[in-house]
Structure 1
Amino acid sequence: MELFPPMPLAEWRDTKETLHRFAQVVGKIRLAASVRRNHWWNVPFHLTGRGITTRPMGLVDGNPVFTVDFDFVDHLLVVAMADGRAESFPLPGQSVASFYRQTLETLAALGVRVEIRVPRPYRLADSDRPFAEDFEHATYDPAWANRYWQVLGQVGLVLEEFAARFSGKVSPVHLFWHSLDIAHTRFSGSALDQPSQVDPVTREAYSRELISFGFWSGDADLGEPAFYSYTTPEPAHLAEDPLTPASARWTGLNDSHLAVLRYDDARTEPDPRAAVLAFYESAYQAGAARAGWDVGRLACPGGITDPRLPAPPL
């Protein structure tokens, strides 16, 4: 597949909306069955060679060790146990309601009992409708689901390359199911004292000064695929700094700004991968400089922290 193939949101919006809710069902299972990590890092999905995975979970909640994977090659939901047992069911033809029911039934058949505390979508337009009652979202086009996974894999590798340039605290490259974006975050180490009215999810996500980088496939706020970056808290005059390539721009987001490079603009660059890396780097340099980070100390050229280390021997 070509690097960054066409992915217009209008052509697969219905599949995306259904898949987003499928991901939230499984994501909430991961939330219930995993040890809590700082910044909610226990919750996101990680990429695999066939789709996305929860990674192993269980034990902490009394369940055996298990994983739940989306297979976007054969288009299955796969529940696998550490003892080798596995069950799966097809993703095409499912409504959110039937997917929710079959997921819980498949887990139960393997001896896994998970309580989803809030069995409804999180921060979606229908967040007041239980998964079990959602028969509206029932579109799953295998070709578009596979393309989405292919693009995630390509973007994930670019983010891994970008992540290698920084020696400070960083998040994994992971897929957040609440907004269905793949992201990587850098931290300065400074704690943030947030107002008491900030909700618990946001408080933990943004408890430290950070600059985040990622990719959205498009949503109600940004109706097209795009690469993005933001700095929290946003320093003064951040949006005055230039971004690379020239097509990248700052856009208003609530009371702050988001650096955005449209996916279609990146695709038209002579070297799309290099353009995305340059975009992330320009957004980082702008945010880090304005926020007073020690950019030199935190740098990690070529993924190496020891300046005397020779080239890899292998």
Structure 2
Amino acid sequence: MFDSDLPYEDWLATKETVHRFAQIVGKLRLSLSVRRNHWWNVPFHLTASGITTRPMGTEPTFAVDLDFLDHRALVTTTSGDRASFGLAGRSVATFHAEFVRVLDGFGIDTSAIREAAPFDLPDADRRFADDTEHDVYDPAAATRYFRTLSDAGLTLEEFAARFSGKTSPVHHFWHTFDIALTRFADASVEHGAETDPVTREAYSREVTSFGFWFGDAQVPYPAFYAYTSPEPEGLAATPLPAGAEWASRGSSHLAIYPLRAARATGDPRAAALDFFETAYLAGARLAGWDIERYRCVDGVTDPHLSASAGAPRH
């Protein structure tokens, strides 16, 4: 697990291309999926070979998978129609053109992505259809990305089993290119009309959130992260495991734990879980959450099972 540090610069060109591929598919997902609280309908979920939108749309109902082992995009309808095309050797523009062509062939509404442009990326003023700049796709780098994503996903799934309250799925956000899990308290958070609607929905309750992302220009290395929102006073003064730190984000702080630091411990999965637990307890205690009420061991809430018995096997 976590067999590589996945240095940011080593696969930056592929990352920039794959990120834009994912945003094209993600914007379609945003348009055609049934809305869920906190935007849970929008992110991708993991498969054994890549990421999937899960089924969406009605006429037809379909799903899109990006396979980072065979390096193909696959569109499948529930009536059995399917089409795929390769990811390597494509610019963002040619990916966009082929994706729209396949969707049109199945009668799928592509109006949301025909003129679409990147979200919160440096070229946000350029349509995907015009992006011939980002055209690097190294299959080996894409596979390393996916395997690291899968390892992070399984680690977050294990961490999710420790909490019995409301929690998000473990899901891969295409806009920020991270994989995340969020825990929710019962307390509502009031936002003014000046707050954008995406933020108002995402943070309508008190949350502690955890995840893994692959780095950016400001933090050029992959890392685990955690934060509490709204941030309670004194959070950034609480201790974190060796190698982790609180990074300022203006009016709030993000706990960051580089993947290389976790790997240096010899057991990166255990190190990441310890980091998540430490950051959670720091935020939840200061925010006044009922920690014992939501404590869970190995996903078991049955009071007749001991903590060591675990879930029954069938």
Question: Which residue of the partner structure matches residue 206 of structure 1?
Answer: 203
Question: Which residue of the partner structure matches residue 300 of structure 1?
Answer: 296
- Structure 2: distance between partners of 1:173 and 1:23: 17
Query: Is residue 4–residue 154 contact of structure 1 (8 Å, CA) maintained in 2?
Result: no
Query: Is residue 158–residue 277 contact of structure 1 (8 Å, CA) maintained in 2?
Result: yes
* Aligned-partner SS, 2:298: helix
TM-score by length of 2: 0.96
In percent, how many aligned pairs have the same letter?
A: 55
Question: Which residue of the partner structure matches residue 120 of structure 1?
Answer: 117
Amino acid corresponding to residue 299 of structure 1 in structure 2 = R
Query: Is residue 32–residue 114 contact of structure 1 (8 Å, CA) maintained in 2?
Result: no
Residue 74 of structure 1: which of 70, 73, 83 is its match? 70
Kindly state the Cα deviation for residue 198 of structure 1 after the two structures are TM-superposed: 1.2
Question: Which residue of the partner structure matches residue 196 of structure 1?
Answer: 193
1:83-102 correspondence runs (5 A): 83-102=79-98
Deviations 1:141-200 (A, max 9, x none): 100000100011111000000000001100000000000000000001211111221111
- Structure 2: distance between partners of 1:256 and 1:291: 14
- Structure 2: distance between partners of 1:270 and 1:113: 49
TM-score by length of 1: 0.96
Kindly state the Cα deviation for residue 18 of structure 1 after the two structures are TM-superposed: 0.8
1:1-314 correspondence runs (5 A): 2-59=1-58, 63-116=59-112, 119-244=116-241, 246-309=242-305, 311=309, 312-314=311-313
Amino acid corresponding to residue 153 of structure 1 in structure 2 = S
Query: Is residue 183–residue 212 contact of structure 1 (8 Å, CA) maintained in 2?
Result: yes
- Structure 2: distance between partners of 1:149 and 1:3: 11
Kindly state the Cα deviation for residue 222 of structure 1 after the two structures are TM-superposed: 1.4
Kindly state the Cα deviation for residue 113 of structure 1 after the two structures are TM-superposed: 2.0
Kindly state the Cα deviation for residue 42 of structure 1 after the two structures are TM-superposed: 0.4
The number of aligned residues is 309
* Aligned-partner SS, 1:67: strand
Kindly state the Cα deviation for residue 303 of structure 1 after the two structures are TM-superposed: 1.1
- Structure 1: distance between partners of 2:24 and 2:187: 34
Kindly state the Cα deviation for residue 110 of structure 1 after the two structures are TM-superposed: 1.9
Amino acid corresponding to residue 183 of structure 1 in structure 2 = A
Structure 2, unaligned stretches of length 5 or more? none
- Structure 1: distance between partners of 2:188 and 2:4: 40
- Structure 2: distance between partners of 1:5 and 1:68: 28
Kindly state the Cα deviation for residue 6 of structure 1 after the two structures are TM-superposed: 2.5
Kindly state the Cα deviation for residue 55 of structure 1 after the two structures are TM-superposed: 0.3
